[in-house]
Amino acid sequence: MIDNHSGLYAAFMAKDARFDGRFFVGISSTGIYCRPICRARKPKAENCTFYSTAAEAEQAGYRPCLLCRPELAPGTSIADARANLVRRAARMLEENCGSGQNLEEIAGRLGCTDRHLRRVFTAEYNVSPVQYLQTCRLLLAKNLLTDTNLSILEVAMSAGFGSLRRFNDSFKKHYHLAPTALRKRISEEKKHNSDITLALGYRPPYRWEEMLNFLAGRAIAGIEVVENGEYMRTVNLKDAEGKHVYGWVRIGHKPKKNALSVTVSETLLSMLPQVLARIRHLFDLYCNPDVMYEILQVMNDIHPSLCTLGIRVPGCFDAFEMAARAVLGQQITVKAASTLAARIVETYGTPVQTGIEGLTHIFPSPEDILAMGEDVTNNFGVLGVTSARSNTIFELARSFTQGEVDFDLCAQPEEEIKKLMKINGIGSWTAQYIAMRTMEWTDAFLETDAGVKKALPSYTSKELLKMAEAWRPWRSYATVNLWNTL
């Protein structure tokens, strides 16, 4: 439980969106727990208990509110946490709640023992990792039951329960409600809608247009499409058996609900937790904009409106695709890099059927690149890619397949940046950019970047680097703010 009862109760009474996902409120008079933004009639202060996570509220015996829907609350940024290890573990549990990955494997990826992870996780969240994982599965299932027309069995499997009986027992035990009873509450419109469309919440404000403009300017033809205020792309993931699963996603904006709408193809149902985790990463939904603006607003002393509240750092959906795209973009324009990437996709990408105009291919996998061997320079050369960059992409592919660089929620991004810079053809700019987009590194700064220099033309690279010290640990957001001024 969280202390400072009076302060949190005041935020709860004010329905302050800045605190959404940062705490949950257990209400003893009803037996439910709510988000700080809940529109229901507010309870008395003495009936409220505050918890740092939904899992902690559920372990205390509370059921999720059907009005504010705690499963839609935004997550917490890694950089917000006092214990980065615990936050990274929580994010991995969310992403892998349907895959069956055990705690020992997650601890190994984080560079610690499962015993140590269990101890620090419980100390930070007051629940064990297993209990947290159970809540992740239950809330994902509740989201699917409420917002989709999937069968109860499909919901159970997608949320990682393994069997319908296990799902029914767990749902009834924790929520005192059968899954079928919750399904009866779905509107007639949703009953006849075959799309798998969910909502992912964020903390407002969210500069959606700026995000779309960034992605549109770097979209790879055949893989990504940005139109009518939505972002669409093809998807290639590997299941637990290493088999490729192909599909597509479409992401739109629901500003009145402080959420993004996410529609996924039926082929991706078995990989839903991973898909949702990658979309949260791509659109930086864990971000708390007020926290970074408090530090970065000093940028406006240099020039008014240099820093804007609500800016997000675009992440990525596919780390190898993004890293290869970054190499292609070295010392050439954004448009030229997109053209080269599109040629590679058209020639060596995997064709897929999506039914959506413009979404026709999957980006070549690291294994596809390695299979070219020494022919990679000739294969890419006829497409306009220099031999140096072709070889760099080949070495990146090798790093991916051999796990030499951790492009996920790595424990020490700065160490991974050093590893990247050991690859011939990757300098500081490329390594920092890759870390910013793939590793959720919040403190990357590209002082030699052409866009950064154009935004602040009166300063040398050395002066920019010195100035940016005041912007730590949010220099990635400072970089995006500078780009947006162009």
Flag whether pLDDT at 466 surpasses 60: yes
pLDDT in tens, 381-391: 999 999 999 99
Flag whether pLDDT at 289 surpasses 70: yes
**Residues 199 and 148 sit within 8 Å (Cβ to Cβ):** no
Residue 248 has what pLDDT? 97
Percentage of residues of the chain with pLDDT beyond 90: 76
441: its two tokens: 């590194």
Mean pLDDT value across residues 324-342: 96
* Whole-angstrom distance, CA of residue 454 vs CA of residue 479: 12
323: its two tokens: 């890293």
Nearest by Cα to 104 from 93, 95, 96, 115: 115
Nearest by Cα to 322 from 193, 213, 403, 408: 408
Residue 7 has what pLDDT? 84
Give the pLDDT band (50/70/90) at residue 81. Answer: very low
Mean pLDDT value across residues 171-200: 77
> Of the residues 3, 16, 34, 406, which is catalytic?
34
Neighbours of 109 (CB within 10 A): 17
Residue 397 has what pLDDT? 97
pLDDT in tens, 115-126: 988 998 998 889
259: its two tokens: 């959420």
**Average pLDDT over all residues of the chain:** 91
34 catalytic per annotation: yes
Residue 247 has what pLDDT? 96
More confident: 178 or 6: 178
Residue 113 has what pLDDT? 86
* Whole-angstrom distance, CA of residue 475 vs CA of residue 296: 8
> Minimum mean pLDDT among 376-385, 406-415, 443-452: which range?
406-415
Flag whether pLDDT at 111 surpasses 90: no
Flag whether pLDDT at 156 surpasses 70: yes
**Residues 475 and 303 sit within 8 Å (Cβ to Cβ):** no
> Minimum mean pLDDT among 112-121, 356-365, 393-402, 442-451: which range?
112-121
Give the pLDDT band (50/70/90) at residue 445. Answer: very high
Give the pLDDT band (50/70/90) at residue 96. Answer: confident
The rounded Cα 110 to chain-centroid distance in angstroms is 18
Neighbours of 460 (CB within 10 A): 11
> Of the residues 147, 284, 406, 449, which is catalytic?
449
Give the pLDDT band (50/70/90) at residue 189. Answer: very low
Residue 82 has what pLDDT? 46
Residue 233 has what pLDDT? 98
* Whole-angstrom distance, CA of residue 136 vs CA of residue 335: 40
> Minimum mean pLDDT among 95-99, 248-252, 307-311, 331-335: which range?
95-99
CA angle 364, 366, 371 (to 5 degrees): 85
> How do 259-264 and 244-254 pair as beta strands?
antiparallel
Residue 78 has what pLDDT? 59
Flag whether pLDDT at 8 surpasses 70: yes
Task: Show the 3-state SS of the chain.
Answer: CCCCHHHHHHHHHCCCHHHECCEEEEECCCCEEECCCCCCCCCCHHHEEEECCHHHHHHCCCEECCCCCHHHCCCCCHHHCCCHHHHHHHHHHHHCCCCCCCHHHHHHHHCCCHHHHHHHHHHHHCCCHHHHHHHHHHHHHHHHHHHCCCCHHHHHHHCCCCCHHHHHHHHHHHHCCCHHHHHCCCCHHHHCCCCEEEEEECCCCCCHHHHHHHHHHCCCCECEEEECCEEEEEEEEECCCCCEEEEEEEEEEEHHHCEEEEEECHHHHHHHHHHHHHHHHHCCCCCCHHHHHHHHHHHHHCCCCCCCCCCCCCCCCCHHHHHHHHHHCCCCCHHHHHHHHHHHHHHHCEECCCCCCCECEECCCHHHHHHCHHHHHHHHHCCCCCHHHHHHHHHHHHHHHHCCCCCCCCCCHHHHHHHHHCCCCCCHHHHHHHHHHHCCCCCCCCCCCHHHHHHCCCCCHHHHHHHHHHHCCCHHHHHHHHHHCC
136 catalytic per annotation: no
pLDDT in tens, 418-437: 999 999 999 999 999 999 99
pLDDT in tens, 46-72: 999 999 899 999 999 999 999 999 999
Mean pLDDT value across residues 247-255: 97
